[in-house]
């Protein structure tokens, strides 16, 4: 990769990692469902009026919009609002790779290799270490909600592979549009009109800045840059940069929010990230339509690209 493209990849990972700080700031002023609705509204409009159709069957746009946009982000925001630290949330969310592998085996007939299973085991150990360190400053409720968000992300990854969107940025704008109205409706139903009204009337510059960052920089600019890199170099070259997201997430949370970087968290992060990278290099088999096995290779690059792109859809959180 050219130096400028390496810098772009690192910048996108940094934007997605620092996104968790913006989420923490936003949740300080808005309830989670309202925050999610406003985030997707800004990401979708007016962009959805300018870019044309999603170039993907509508069933996938609506399905992924609900699973990824509504379910996954509602669970993530609720988990962080329940008290799970921003840095730890950025790490725990990467456990989606574990669930994605499990669902790919069960639903897509993929056959992971030995290295992939080993990577899965290492990543599970990292998540287990995070779970063993729960307490008053990292509540069980928040852990469960963010872990459930990782499960929802993994389901959307499987759907993304089936959808095969040719333009990830365009697709994400439409997914954002689909998620907006259900999230507003859920916010009014569960958070109540009075709480919604109070949050909107009390919104200050830091809350607005958090929304602009998440919608404009993390979502639109982030996916635009990531899409350019995928087209230039392919998924295999670009994907490892996504593992910098927890690093930037935990580092920015420590720097801007004062969250301590404890030794156990660093070890857990190394296990999760190392396990994901080990599994990504495993070269598992995928069952072909005729029942035979094939290993992903250069001739199957479009499929690999879409799987990786799907895994990045929620990296921006």
DSSP assignment of the chain, as one string? --HHHHHHHHHHHHHHHHHHHHHHHHHTTS-HHHHHHHHHHHHHTTGGGTS---SS-HHHHHHHIIIIIIIIHHHHHHHHHTT--HHHHHHHGGGHHHHHHHHHHHHH-EE--HHHHHHHHHHHHHHHHHHHT-BTTB-HHHHHHHHHHHHHHHHHHHHHHHH--S-HHHHHHHHHHHHHHHHHHHIIIII-HHHHHHHHHT--HHHHHHHHIIIIIIIIIHHHHHHHHHHHH-HHHHGGGGGHHHHHHHHHHHHHH-----HHHHHHHHHHHHHHHHHHTS--EEE-TTS-EE---GGGHHHHHHHHHHHHTTTT-
| pLDDT score, position 316 | 52
The predicted structure's pLDDT at residue 237: 76
Give the whole-angstrom CA distance, residue 13 versus residue 17: 6
pLDDT for res 83: 94
Which are the contacts of 290, defined by CB distance < 8 A and separation ≥ 6? none
* Averaged pLDDT in 10-residue chunks for the chain of 317 residues: 90 94 96 96 93 92 96 96 94 87 84 85 90 89 96 91 87 95 97 96 95 94 86 76 87 93 89 83 50 42 41 50
pTM score, whole prediction: 0.85
286 is written with which tokens? 């995928």
For the chain, how many structural domains are there in total? Answer: 1
Query: For residue 242, which of 1, 3, 15 has the smallest C-alpha distance?
Result: 15
Residue 294 lies in a domain: yes
What pLDDT is stored for residue 241 in this prediction?
Answer: 83
- Closest C-alpha among 189, 178, 140, 150 to residue 54: 178
Does 317 reside within a domain?
A: no
Cα dist. 226→34, 229, 262, 306, 310 in Å? 27, 5, 31, 13, 12
Nearest in space to 163 (alpha carbons), one of 29, 7, 20, 310: 310
On whether residue 205 sits in a domain, the answer given is: yes
Beta bridge partners of 111: 285
Residue 51 placed within a domain: yes
Residue 282 within a domain: yes
Domain range for 44: 3-312
**Is 275 among the domain residues?**
yes
Q: For residue 101, is it within any domain?
A: yes
pLDDT of residue 283: 53
Q: Does residue 261 fall inside a structural domain?
A: yes
Contact by Cβ (8 Å): 85, 138:
yes
CB 29 within 8 A of CB 199: yes
- The whole-number pLDDT of residue 133 equals 86
Q: How far is CA 65 from the centre of its chain?
A: 13
């Amino acid at each position: 990769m050219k130096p400028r493209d390496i810098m772009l990849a690192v910048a996108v990972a940094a934007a997605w990692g620092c996104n968790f700080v913006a989420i923490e700031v936003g949740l300080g002023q808005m309830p989670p469902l309202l925050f999610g609705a406003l985030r997707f509204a800004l990401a979708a409009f007016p962009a959805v009026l300018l870019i044309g159709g999603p170039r993907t069957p509508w069933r996938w746009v609506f399905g992924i919009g609900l699973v990824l946009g509504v379910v996954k982000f509602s669970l993530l925001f609720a988990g962080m609002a329940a008290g799970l630290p921003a840095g730890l949330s950025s790490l725990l969310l990467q456990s989606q790779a574990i669930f994605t592998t499990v669902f790919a085996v069960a639903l897509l007939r993929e056959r992971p290799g030995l290295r992939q299973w080993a990577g899965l085991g290492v990543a599970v150990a990292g998540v287990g270490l995070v779970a063993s360190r729960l307490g008053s400053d990292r509540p069980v409720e928040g852990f469960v909600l963010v872990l459930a968000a990782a499960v929802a992300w993994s389901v959307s990854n499987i759907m993304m592979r089936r959808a095969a969107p040719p333009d990830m940025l365009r697709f994400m704008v439409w997914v954002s549009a689909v998620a907006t109205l259900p999230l507003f409706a859920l916010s009014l139903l569960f958070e109540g009109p009075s709480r919604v009204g109070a949050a909107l009337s009390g919104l200050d510059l830091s809350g607005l800045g958090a929304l602009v960052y998440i919608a404009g920089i993390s979502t639109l600019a982030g996916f635009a840059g990531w899409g350019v890199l995928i087209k230039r170099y392919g998924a295999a070259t670009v994907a490892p940069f996504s593992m910098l997201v927890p690093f930037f997430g935990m580092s920015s949370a420590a720097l801007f929010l004062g969250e301590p970087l404890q030794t156990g968290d660093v070890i857990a992060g190394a296990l999760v990230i190392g396990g994901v990278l080990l599994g990504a290099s495993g070269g598992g088999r995928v069952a072909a339509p005729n029942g035979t096995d094939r290993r992903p290779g250069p001739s199957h690059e479009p499929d690999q690209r879409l799987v990786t792109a799907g895994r990045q859809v929620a990296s921006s959180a």
